[in-house]
Amino acid sequence: MTFALVAVLFVGLCVGVEVLARRARLLSPELVRKLAHMSSATFAALLPLVLTFEQIAVLGLLFAGLMASSQRLRIFRAIHDVSRETYGEILFPLGIAALALLCPSPLPFAYGVLVLGLGDGLAALVGERFGSRAIPFLHTRKTLWGTGAFLAVCFALGLVLLAPTGVSPAYLIAAAAVMAVALTPIELFLTYGLDNLALPPMAGLLLTGL
């Protein structure tokens, strides 16, 4: 029953994003897409409170299938209509499913999901707002502003999530910095939404190993 309810809530979120995009015409498609990205990730970070990690993995696989069908049939246009070629909306739930299987523990799971949702989402929004020039050698739209935002968010998330574990301040800062520096190249260099697949499990494994 809980599994079905969570699935319905995620579908409702997709429908809500579609309605918002069609009615709030002043919002750019990229902004609506990233708001959906961040809100769904924040929600997903809490899933271990109500689902097992096996159920979370199954849910991720189901939603990857739903997003693939939606992309093909043009159902949730607000999620898919972007100016660049990307499979991020399909790889997003697959990344969360991989994270649930590889890191079945609440703290690494929350870090992996939030790095993807908040870090990657805010990087795109900050880069679009303040980054006037893309990094030239990458041949992508990613900017130094966006990359800096991702690094800062990863560092802050590491501090917030590791602080309650009781580690020393020096270890806390060093661990958060190491994870942020290690994850930033993944977000920077992977294109076509592949960072959505790689970031969650890599972030979770990094925190697990510290």
- Per-residue pLDDT for 16 more than 70? no
Q: What is the pLDDT of residue 198?
A: 94
Q: What is the pLDDT of residue 35?
A: 77
Q: What is the pLDDT of residue 58?
A: 93
Q: Are the beta carbons of 49 and 1 closer than 8 angstroms?
A: no
Binned at pLDDT 50, 70 and 90, residue 10 comes out as low
Higher-confidence residue: 150 or 63? 150
Higher-confidence residue: 125 or 114? 114
What backbone torsions phi and psi does residue 132 show, to the nearest 5 degrees? -75, -25
Ramachandran region, residue 166 (left: φ > 0; alpha: ψ -120 to 50; beta: rest): left
Q: Are the beta carbons of 7 and 59 closer than 8 angstroms?
A: yes
- pLDDT tens, position by position, 164-197: 999 999 999 999 999 999 999 998 888 888 889 9
Q: Output the CA–CA distances (angstroms, integers) from residue 131 to 86, 126, 144, 148, in the order listed.
A: 20, 7, 7, 11
Q: Model pTM?
A: 0.86
**Average pLDDT of 21-48?**
73
Higher-confidence residue: 156 or 41? 156
